[in-house]
DNA sequence: TCAATATCTGAGCATACGCTCAGATATTTG
DNA sequence: CAAATATCTGAGCGTATGCTCAGATATTGA
């Protein structure tokens, strides 16, 4: 993942526009941009978005989710792991089944916001 | 890009949880999830996020952006093309230089929203 | 016109990622 | 315990992606 082999970065020559401190608050450090990018990356996959959509209103077990997405339970399980790692979902075990639900309400707002935006 | 080689998708057996119509409005079609994923993917890269951060308050020319990010103008140009394709930035030519600015205020709100969220 | 600057672009490379496949683990049931 | 079910996991494959590099284009100025 780390793509940091010390870039050469030419010295710029266009004189008139290089204020020492960039405008508009701290210019987003590399580390902060990294975390932010990782967060958006979790939402950048159609399958994960459809999982979030299915979990929007109520919890679902894995095989339920796989059935609705018409994909394999393995694929769903892999994606749920990503959502778990990003702390976007939590789970509850009940017998053999594992029920997932959305963890972060903030993400739900984000999802609805963007969905509405793209619907124009 | 299209990963649609007709998935096998096993018939689920867990009986108790398969309502015919999923809950919570339309379950996000594959096409809609695709577009939504592509939108988030644009924001899933640290370099593009730092560009957006730099353009948050005022426009900048390419070499200016490259200088602030300590990277090459080529890399910045490539990323600006992605932002342009996503209609997130517009540009204005002035002599040799090209000045970029944010196009969509909606994205700025999203950016600030998530940044604040991750800052805890 | 020629040199310098600013930006763009395509090819190629290294890495990241999502899926399939095979198999492991855990729980229920006969 | 053994079979079936529900989920998880690692390996491997094909594709996507961001960068570098070399070069093209465009504009300015001597």
Per the CB < 8 A criterion, the answer to whether A37 and B44 are in contact is yes
Q: How far apart are CA B50 and CA B45, in angstroms?
A: 9
Chain B residue closest in CA terms to A57: B24
Question: Mind listing the pLDDT tens digit of every residue in chain A (120 residues)?
Answer: 333 333 333 334 454 444 444 334 567 999 999 999 999 999 999 999 999 999 999 999 999 999 999 999 999 999 999 999 999 999 999 999 999 999 988 899 999 999 999 987
Rounded to a whole number of angstroms, the distance from the CA of A1 to the nearest CA of chain B is: 12
- Strand C at less than 7 A from CB of A83: no
- Using alpha carbons, select from A11, A36, A6, A3 the residue that is nearest to residue B68: A11
Assess contact for A67 and B18: CB atoms under 8 A: yes
pLDDT at B10 over 80: no
Report B:80-119 residues touching A (Cβ under 8 A).
97, 106, 110, 113-115, 117-118
pLDDT score, position A120? 77
Bridge partner list, A102: A89
Q: What is the spatial distance between Cα A33 and Cα B20, in angstroms, rounded to a whole number?
A: 42
Q: What is the pLDDT of residues A48-74, one digit of tens each?
A: 999 999 999 999 999 999 999 999 999
Q: Which residues touch strand D (CB under 7 A)?
A: A 3, 7-8, 61-64, 66, 73-74, 76-78, 80-81, 91, 96-98; B 1-3, 12-15, 41, 44-45, 47, 71-72, 74-75, 78-79, 82, 93, 95-96
Gap between the Cα atoms of A35 and A21, Å rounded: 23
DSSP H or E stretch at residue A99: strand A97-102
β-strands A89-94, A60-61 pairing: unpaired
Give the DSSP per-residue string, A52-85: HHHTTTS-EEHHHHHHHHTS-HHHHHHHHHHHHH
pLDDT, residue A21, reads 41
Nucleotides in C strand less than 7 A from protein CB: 5-11, 15-23, 26-28
Distance CA(B46)–CA(A35), nearest Å, equals 8
Q: What is the pLDDT of residues B42-79, one digit of tens each?
A: 999 999 999 999 999 999 999 999 999 999 999 999 99
Distance CA B104, CA B86 (A): 10
Amino acid A73 CA to nucleotide C20 C1' distance, rounded Å: 11
- Number of Cβ within a 10 Å radius of residue B91: 17
From CA B74, how far away is CA B78, in angstroms rounded?
A: 6
The model's pTM is 0.84
Considering only the beta carbons, identify the residue of B36, B49, B73 that sits closest to A115.
B36
Cross-strand partners of A100: A60, A91
Q: Is the pLDDT of residue B36 over 90?
A: yes
Q: Which of A51-60, B19-28, B76-85, B102-111 has the lowest mean pLDDT?
A: B19-28
Residue A87 has which token pair? Answer: 């702390």
């Amino acid at each position: 993942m780390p793509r940091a082999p010390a870039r050469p970065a030419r010295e710029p020559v266009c004189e008139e526009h290089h204020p020492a401190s960039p405008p508009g608050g701290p210019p987003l450090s590399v580390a902060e941009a990294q975390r932010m990018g990782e967060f958006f990356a979790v939402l950048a996959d159609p399958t994960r978005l459809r999982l979030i959509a299915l979990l929007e209103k109520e919890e679902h077990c894995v095989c339920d989710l796989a059935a609705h997405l018409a994909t394999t339970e393995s694929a769903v399980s892999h994606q749920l792991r990503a959502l778990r790692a990003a702390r976007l979902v939590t789970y509850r075990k009940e017998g053999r089944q594992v029920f997932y639900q959305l963890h972060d309400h903030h993400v739900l707002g984000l999802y609805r916001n963007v969905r509405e935006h793209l619907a124009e």
